[in-house]
Amino acid sequence: MGNKRKAREVHSDDDEPAKTRTKTTVDGGKPQLLPSMIKNKEKRSALYAKLKHEKKTEKRKNAKAREALESRALELGEELPPKKIPRTIENTREADETVCKPDDEELFAGNDADEFSSVLNSERVPKVLMTTCRFNSTRGPALIKDLLTVIPNAVYYKRGTYDLKKIVDYANNKEFTSVIVVHTSRREPDALLVIGLPNGPTAHFKLSNLVLHKDLKNHGNPTGHKPELVLNNFTTRLGHRVGRLIQSLFPQDPEFRGRRVVTFHNQRDFIFFRHHRYIFESREDKKTNGKEKEEEVTEDGKRILRGKIIARLQECGPRFTLKLTSLQHGTFDTKGGEYEWVHKPEMDTSRRRFFL
Partner 1 sequence: MPRTTTLETPGCPPLRAITFDVLGLIKVTEARSKQGGVAKVVERWGDPDASRCVLAASINDRKIDPLLAVARKSGVIELLSPVNGDLRLSLPTVHQTDVPSQDDNIAGLHLFKKQSSESSSRSCTLLTCTTKGLTTIRSVIIPKSPGESTCDDTPATWNVCNAGNVLCCKVDENENYCLFGGKGIEVNIWDLATHTKIWTAKSPPKNSLGIFTPTWFTSATFLSKDDHRKFVAGTNNHQVRLYDMSAQRRPVMSFDFRETPIKAVTEDADGNTIYIGNGSGDLASVDIRTGKLLGCFLGKCSGSIRSIARHPDHPVIASCGLDSYLRIWDIKSRQLLSAVFLKQHLTNVVFDSHFDDEEVADSLASLPPSEQKVDDEPVEGDEESPPVVKQKKKRSKSRSLDEDEEVTLSSKHKKTKKSQKLDGEKDGSHSTKGKKAKKSRNIDGDAEELSLGPEKSKVKSKDRKSKKSKKPKGETIDELVDGITEILNRKKDSKEMDTDFTRNEIINLRSKADRLRGVNLSGLDLSNLV
* Residue 231, H or E segment: strand 228-232
Could you say whether residue 42 binds partner 1 (CB under 8 A)? no
Minimum separation from the CB atom of position 64 to partner 1 (A): 28
Minimum separation from the CB atom of position 341 to partner 1 (A): 5
DSSP secondary structure of 263-306: EEEEETTEEEEEEEEEEEEE---TTTTTTS--EEE-TTS-EEE-
Minimum separation from the CB atom of position 237 to partner 1 (A): 7
Window of 138-146, 248-256, 317-325, 334-342 that interacts with partner 1 by CB under 8 A:
334-342
A 10 A CB-CB count for 9 gives: 15
Minimum separation from the CB atom of position 356 to partner 1 (A): 13
Window of 73-81, 125-133, 249-257, 340-348 that interacts with partner 1 by CB under 8 A:
340-348
Residue 38 DSSP symbol: -
Could you say whether residue 343 binds partner 1 (CB under 8 A)? yes
Could you say whether residue 299 binds partner 1 (CB under 8 A)? no
Minimum separation from the CB atom of position 163 to partner 1 (A): 16
Window of 32-40, 143-151, 259-267, 337-345 that interacts with partner 1 by CB under 8 A:
337-345
Could you say whether residue 92 binds partner 1 (CB under 8 A)? yes
Could you say whether residue 9 binds partner 1 (CB under 8 A)? no
Window of 34-42, 151-159, 178-186, 329-337 that interacts with partner 1 by CB under 8 A:
329-337
Q: Is 115 helix (H, G, I), strand (E, B) or coil?
A: coil
In 96-187, the DSSP E strands lie at: 128-132, 154-156, 178-185
Q: Which is nearer to partner 1, 187 or 352 (CB)?
A: 352
Could you say whether residue 340 binds partner 1 (CB under 8 A)? yes
A 10 A CB-CB count for 240 gives: 20
Alpha carbons 304 and 296: distance in angstroms, whole number: 5
Q: Cis peptide before 102, with omega less than 30 degrees from 0?
A: no
List the interface residues with partner 1, window 197-256 (CB under 8 A): 237
Could you say whether residue 258 binds partner 1 (CB under 8 A)? no
Could you say whether residue 341 binds partner 1 (CB under 8 A)? yes
Q: Is 102 helix (H, G, I), strand (E, B) or coil?
A: coil
Could you say whether residue 109 binds partner 1 (CB under 8 A)? yes
Could you say whether residue 338 binds partner 1 (CB under 8 A)? yes
Could you say whether residue 332 binds partner 1 (CB under 8 A)? no
Half-sphere exposure of 187 (CA within 13 A, CB side): 2
CB 178 within 8 A of CB 249: yes
* Residue 54, H or E segment: helix 41-76
Could you say whether residue 104 binds partner 1 (CB under 8 A)? yes
Query: Which member of 87, 217, 257, 286 binds partner 1 (CB under 8 A)?
Result: 87
Alpha carbons 265 and 319: distance in angstroms, whole number: 12
Half-sphere exposure of 70 (CA within 13 A, CB side): 9
The contact set with partner 1 (CB under 8 A) reads 87, 92, 94-95, 97-98, 104-107, 109-110, 112-113, 237, 329, 335-344, 346-347, 349-350, 352-353
